[in-house]
Amino acid sequence: MSNCIFCKIVNGEIPAAKVFENEHVLAFLDISQVTKGHTLVIPKVHKENLYELTPEIARNLYEVVPSIANAIKQEFNPIGLNSINNNGEHAGQSVFHFHLHLIPRYGKGDGFG
């Protein structure tokens, strides 16, 4: 989608700090990380939200989530991690290209929750 910021990241039109990439999936650091290592995982194809994902897109995406989470664990050494997906404005979605937040947790006062 031409005016979607995450499609622009997929297409290389705007930069992002990439954490993982394969044919179907891209993971990159959130531009305003709520905790150190806050990462977004997206399908390369434009789908607005969870409701729009096909089983194949969901499979391709979630297949790589554990290894991305493990890479984050390795790199940042958090004591916990939240995986969160917001769907719809009222649920806190602000970018309308499906994304899964991986938010490393460091304990009380880490800035999230």
Q: Which residues bind Zn ion (CB under 5 A)?
A: 1, 4, 6-7, 46, 97
Question: Token pair for residue 53?
Answer: 């994902």
- Window contacting ligand 5GP (CB under 6 A); options: 18-26, 44-52, 63-71, 88-96: 88-96
Among 93, 105, 106, 110, binds ligand 5GP (CB under 6 A): 93
95 makes contact with ligand 5GP (CB under 6 A):
yes
Q: Decide: 61 and 24 in contact? Cβ < 8 Å.
A: yes
Q: Rounded CA gap, 19 and 27, in Å?
A: 5
Q: Rounded CA gap, 99 and 22, in Å?
A: 16
Interacting residues with ligand 5GP (CB under 6 A): 5, 16, 28, 30-32, 40, 86, 92-95
